[in-house]
Amino acid sequence: MKKYFIILAGALIALSGCNDCKKNACQIDPDTSISQADIDRLGITDKDHLSAASKRALKWPNIGNDWFVEFQTQDLKGDLAYEEGVVRRDPSAMIQHDGKYYVWYTKSVGPTDGFGGDIENGKVFPWDRCDIWYATSKDGWTWKEEGMAVGRGEKGAYDDRSVFTVEIMEYEGMYYLSYQTVKSPYNVRVKNQVGLAWSNSPDGPWTKSKEPILSPADNGIWKGEEQDRHKVIKKGDFDSHKVHDPCIIPFKGKFYLYYKGEQMGEEMTFGGRQIRHGVAIADDPKGPYVKSPYNPISNSGHEICVWKYNGGIASLITTDGPEKNTIQWSPDGINFEIMSSIPGAPHAIGLNRTADNEKEPTEILRWGLTHEYYTYDYQAIRRFTSATKKVHTAASDKAVKDKSH
């Protein structure tokens, strides 16, 4: 697939702008070729006077809009409908087995106390004190909660406080759940890790890894003893504080574990929070996983949402960073380029892995699961749908068309 280079506006403002437009008249770069088709397509008034925005636009690749999507969300029925007092969130991807869809998710009960309460006995986040549960459905709308799949570990274990944000991978008759873990006490500087469980049936029982399969980088240095995540002597790698949202994809004969990294001393950028993604690669689903030397592989994003397409990996980048709300693609699973900029996407998307993801770039996004905050304390799982949008029709145009029929 042709390699595309998209240059973001924010990053090039300082480079593209003219210091003295009256003097320089924003002249065309000597090596810039502008066709009449370019002028028409971009609506350029005068090719001899180009603004910084027009110069950037001339560098955009002509890739069409097959990657551009818009989303809607809908309520579910059955056991996954909103339930007061219960947190259900961060749905995994869905798979099918024996004619039923399966999904795994984070579940807890009770309100959130925050870090100002009793940390030892309270609940600091909605995803604190959670276990991983699962549900099944015949139609993707009405769901039956089947029970707990993976619970917290015994006191003193690396996962004794919470297990959450789960993802499923099916490979050669085995099922693998990767998920976040927290060890007590859950304070501000706690370092999340990634655990793994496996089974020969989606209904379990599940065998948990005795140790984490992925941990934060150990090269940052906190400043002082105060529970303040922003005070550091040295920040360390992009994932020196936390590794989140794991997702394992079989790719090119190996296993690519994509994850979200949070850095000690996290800052704000012109795109918001300083959140980035990384990948760790293994020869076996159970590991060991080795972090790529090319990490971070994104400079933006939040929850991991990746899928195979056209021999490479596509990634939905949301919420945080200069490249937020984009869909990106990589031929090698590491070097990603922007394919579209979208209005936004639902929280923590759980993909429908049964979709024909090679039909078109975003076919796997046609429907799936997400979660929604009803209050800060309680979230519920919902369904999302999406559609590509290739033509703009104004509401008045549609009304005239409808009336003519």
Closest CA to 307 of 263, 235, 367, 258: 258
The confidence score (pLDDT) of residue 279 equals 98
Give the percent of the chain with pLDDT over 90. Answer: 83
The confidence score (pLDDT) of residue 317 equals 98
The confidence score (pLDDT) of residue 340 equals 96
The confidence score (pLDDT) of residue 63 equals 84
* Residue 391 pLDDT class (50, 70, 90 cuts): confident
The confidence score (pLDDT) of residue 393 equals 79
The answer for 148, left when phi > 0, alpha when psi is -120 to 50, beta otherwise, is beta
The confidence score (pLDDT) of residue 399 equals 53
The confidence score (pLDDT) of residue 64 equals 84
What's the mean pLDDT in 276-290? 98
Please write the tens of the pLDDT for every residue from 219-234: 999 999 999 999 999 9
* Residue 405 pLDDT class (50, 70, 90 cuts): very low
Which of 33-37, 95-99, 155-159 shows the lowest mean pLDDT across its residues? 33-37
Residues 6+ apart with CB under 8 A from 226: none
All domains of the chain in start order, with CATH: 9-58 (no CATH), 69-388 (2.115.10.20)
Does residue 11 have a pLDDT over 70?
A: no
Cα gap 293→45, rounded to integer Å: 46
Please write the tens of the pLDDT for every residue from 322-338: 999 999 999 999 999 99
Alpha helix positions (H), 354-394: none
| Residue keyed to tokens 């929850």 | 303
The confidence score (pLDDT) of residue 398 equals 55
The confidence score (pLDDT) of residue 29 equals 53
Closest CA to 58 of 42, 46, 74: 42
The confidence score (pLDDT) of residue 397 equals 59
What's the mean pLDDT in 12-26? 37
Cα gap 262→282, rounded to integer Å: 22
Closest CA to 146 of 97, 111, 179, 182: 97
Please write the tens of the pLDDT for every residue from 332-372: 999 999 999 999 999 999 999 999 999 999 999 999 999 99
Please write the tens of the pLDDT for every residue from 205-219: 999 999 999 999 999
The confidence score (pLDDT) of residue 6 equals 38
Closest CA to 198 of 189, 190, 187, 209: 209
Q: What are phi and psi of 42, to 5 degrees?
A: -100, -5
